[in-house]
Structure 1
Amino acid sequence: MKVFFDNCTAPVLASTLHGFISHYGHSAFHIKDVPGLARGRSAPDVDWIELLRSAQDTWIFISGDGRILRNPPERVALRSSGLHGFILAPAYQKNPMHMNAALLISRWPDIEQITQILSAPSMHEIPIGKSTKLRALPL
């Protein structure tokens, strides 16, 4: 499985998660490092959603922007994409980056489990609290 981090996340989250999950045969990429995006980091959401949808590999994405679910073009693209998406709770913006990276790694088993038991497309929020479960979001 490959994990895509959009522009609303810090590149350090992708590289930190990659260091952890690469031992399990997975990989993580920030949008700036994904080959095949014509406009690179400036690619609109619908472009990277289409790239992940059409890829032969299994992709999930992590975003720091919940507005992706409120914009009609992105929402339509997500519904037809067959992707599992995870949105960081707004509280991540107030947290130090090293804590966000640690929380994301601690949530990896939950993320992996959701991708295995639910069929895509699905969306979930990754809460800041360690004892709080991932919350399903309407798609």
Structure 2
Amino acid sequence: MNKKETTNPKELKNQNYEAKKMNASANLKKKKDKDLPWWVELLFVQIGLPDKLLIKILKAKKTSKEFIKNEKKSIIIFLFVITILAYFYPVIKHAKNKLDCEAIAKNYIIKNKNTIGINNREIKMLSTNFCYGGEEIYEIENLKN
């Protein structure tokens, strides 16, 4: 006849507790023996910067990590908006420069060229053509003062 082995739940809990306690003490020793980060070693041990600065740096690091953790969605939206603006800025600037060029060319044509018989739409067309490298503007005669 085989007897069933009975286990006491309290004994299991005690064994688990003791094992965890031993692991915790081993983890504490590992943490204590852990090397300093290279930047702490360089700046505060080798160079000798004040400890107050290290404390401020570590506090700032902690608060920034918490801020990033808590405000992750708003940070992603902000970075997305900045990326979109940076992407479209050259396109907008190019369009603005072309419009400025057309306005300057139009004023030049009206002031210095004989525009009798040329309507406003044709002057705009000539100014656009000139800004894109066309030479039709030179075919209009200069005004004789």
Instruction: Answer yes or no: same fold by TM over 0.5.
Output: no
Alignment TM class, shorter chain as reference? under 0.3
Query: Which of the two has higher C-alpha Rg?
Result: 2
- TM-score with structure 1 setting the length: 0.22
Structure with more relative contact order (C-alpha pairs < 8 Å, separation 6 or more)? 1
Task: Name whichever structure is richer in strand by fraction.
Answer: 1
- TM-score with structure 2 setting the length: 0.22
